[in-house]
Structure 1
Amino acid sequence: MKPSLPARPPASGPEARKQRADGAEARAHLLLSALKLFAEKGFAKTSTREIAQAAGANLAAISYYFGDKAGLYRAVFTEPLGKPCDDVTRFLPAHLTLRQALEGFISGFLEPLKLGDLVQQLTRLHFREMLEPTGLWAEQLDNNILPAHAALVEVLSRHLGVTTPDDDVHRLAFSITGLAMQTFISRDLIVTVRPQLIATPPAIDLWAARLVDFAEAMVAVERARRQPALPVKKNKP
């Protein structure tokens, strides 16, 4: 019986680092190529063969890194923007001032804008998923977006002195989120009218700071609205 050759020991040192780097680069290239196609054509009309061809890879690479087309789509949909619930610790802790909490919420929300043109493709993909649902949007809503909204409501209730959040607290939370969301929805318009507003990471950080100012003002208005009106003093005759 011919003796079997000993198994090749796993790579180590520079060779292992090169293999890991090459693998990470190949995976990232597949993600970017898939993102462009999924955003343009949707999940159903995009084939794995198209993605592999666009990425300069073979079909086996998709199976290796993502399992299948659905696994690749999930990675494209969730990885680049992160999970809103992952940012909860940036604004939920009770020791934070209102401004610190709003800074944590809004700066975390706007961080993906620093990805440049990539974020516009991600935004289009998310809108397409809402129009042509595969189930990922509902999953994202339940697991990430709703918990983040609940955390913001908790923060606002705390700073408004509200024990049980009512409709107006939720309106305020949605409105503050809308301030940040608008920068993604209107990105094409912003680039056309005033591109310097989001052209660099420092510019995006400045935008976030301004949104915090606006959000603080909104909270102040709501706080004032909730304060009972002082009785009018009548002049003695």
Structure 2
Amino acid sequence: MLQLNTCLIRSYPNFPKKQSRSPVFFMSSPPLEAKQRLLLAAIHEFALHGYDHGTVRRICGRADVNVNAVKYYFTDKRGLYVEAVKEAHRSRHQAIANGNLFIPPDDELEMEPAVRLKAFIFQMVKMAMDAQDRTDYRHLLIFRELANPSEATQHIVQEFIRPHFERLNGILLQLLPPETPLVERRLLAFSVVGQCMHYKMAGRIIEMLVSPEEYQELTAERIAEHIYNVIQAAIWQKHQARA
């Protein structure tokens, strides 16, 4: 249990360590509101046990609140789960923004389309590889949600996935022949995303398939360069077919 709490504290420095009488807060931070404590405890619970096997009682015990607080703030367990997924995603998205992982739109407009594509692929690969941290319960919960989508996935798609997907489509629009059908451009965009996300979903399997020395060579830069070359070859082929 101590190890689990330590992992949560690393992701959320203000997360309270549960005690039987009163909560203790780390880093001399002001106490978190009951609603926020519930959300952080729910991320932990649902990440480890999923929605079906996660329990409101354990969540409330970890958050040091009465079980009636779930009904007061979130209506029911389902409402708490949806908001926990949203909170996990929001905090991860904010961490990405704070880390300057994505190029600001105004700066990107001044770049050549091929350079923008290369930067986009690197950013996606870096984000995918960073998400392999199995000690971050936000990652684990989002993994679970995307594997078995609920209404919470709509939030993730609209807030994060769709804007970046449309950004990628805009880059490909400039690189592909003008007469390229929309469906072909979409398929190429899906190919980019699929290759990048492969290293997020199958990272541990890849580690089992190759030697430790080979695995160490699979840096974000090297993987991104490979994906970029594959996509550029596909783009070149489409230009050749219409020549």
TM over 0.5: yes
Whole-Å separation in 2 of the counterparts to 1:45 and 1:158: 48
- Provide the residue aligned with 1:19 in structure 2: 29
Q: Is the 8 A contact 2:192 2:227 kept in 1?
A: yes
Whole-Å separation in 2 of the counterparts to 1:67 and 1:226: 54
Which of 219, 231, 235 is equivalent to 2:231?
219
Higher alpha-carbon deviation: 125-134 or 212-221: 125-134
Match for 1:225: what amino acid?
Q
Match for 2:56: what amino acid?
T
Shift of 1:50: 0.7
Helix, strand or coil at the partner of 1:170: helix
- Closer/same/farther in 2, CA of residues 122 and 195 from structure 1, 3 Å limit: farther
1:118 aligns with 2:135: yes
Whole-Å separation in 1 of the counterparts to 2:57 and 2:213: 39
* Structure 2 length-normalised TM: 0.61
Match for 2:231: what amino acid?
V
Which of 195, 202, 206 is equivalent to 1:186?
202
Which of 159, 166, 171 is equivalent to 2:187?
171
Q: Is the 8 A contact 2:89 2:138 kept in 1?
A: no
Give the number of aligned pairs: 202
- Provide the residue aligned with 1:160 in structure 2: 176
Q: Which has the higher Rg, Structure 1 or Structure 2?
A: 1
- Provide the residue aligned with 2:64 in structure 1: 58
Shift of 1:170: 1.5
- Closer/same/farther in 2, CA of residues 134 and 176 from structure 1, 3 Å limit: closer
Shift of 1:183: 1.1
- Provide the residue aligned with 1:234 in structure 2: none
Helix, strand or coil at the partner of 2:93: coil
Helix, strand or coil at the partner of 1:95: coil
- Closer/same/farther in 2, CA of residues 30 and 145 from structure 1, 3 Å limit: closer
Which of 206, 210, 215 is equivalent to 2:222?
210
1:89 aligns with 2:104: yes
The Cα RMSD (Å) is 4.3
- Closer/same/farther in 2, CA of residues 23 and 163 from structure 1, 3 Å limit: farther
Helix, strand or coil at the partner of 1:59: coil
* Structure 1 length-normalised TM: 0.62
Match for 2:110: what amino acid?
H
Percent identity for Structure 1 against Structure 2: 16
